[in-house]
A = this chain, B = another copy of it.
Amino acid sequence: MQIRQIAAQQNIPDRYLEQLLATLRRAGLVRSQRGARGGYLLARDPWKITLYDIVSCIEGFDTQADTEKQPSTAEGLVISDVWQEVRQAAETVLQKCTLQDLLERRNARQQLDIMYYI
């Protein structure tokens, strides 16, 4: 798909989407075809890409981001540990969720909507 199409469908400024896709490309999640009739395509199958891959890529997940600036008191270290657990819990949720899952969920929801409409 081309940036313009995605931007129009999802209502995102195309210049901004361009940056996001460039980041995803550098992380090897999508591939790009330059030139006229170019565009983007997924680098892997939809069930082999998790939300964790995407999120950790565009929002650079420094696992130790807060550890560095803590004065390493006993309290600070304990707090860091808990935050680490929270982050871990969130990450496992994202890791279990693939693009394929999202797609299926969307289709299921659309089916539901149609039934309600009838």
Q: Bound state CA distance, A71 and B11, in angstroms? A: 9
Number of A interface residues at 8 Å Cβ cutoff, please give it.
25
Chain B residue with Cβ nearest A10 = B75
| Secondary structure of the A contact surface, majority rule | helix
Interface string of A77-96 (1 = CB under 8 A from B): 11101100110011011100
Specify the chain B residue showing the minimal Cβ separation from A82.
Answer: B97
Does A106 interact with chain B (Cβ within 8 Å)? yes
Complex contacts, A93 vs chain B, CB 8 Å? 82, 85-86, 89
Q: Which residues of A are in contact with B by a Cβ distance under 8 Å?
A: 10-11, 51, 71, 74-75, 77-79, 81-82, 85-86, 89-90, 92-94, 97, 102, 105-106, 109-110, 113
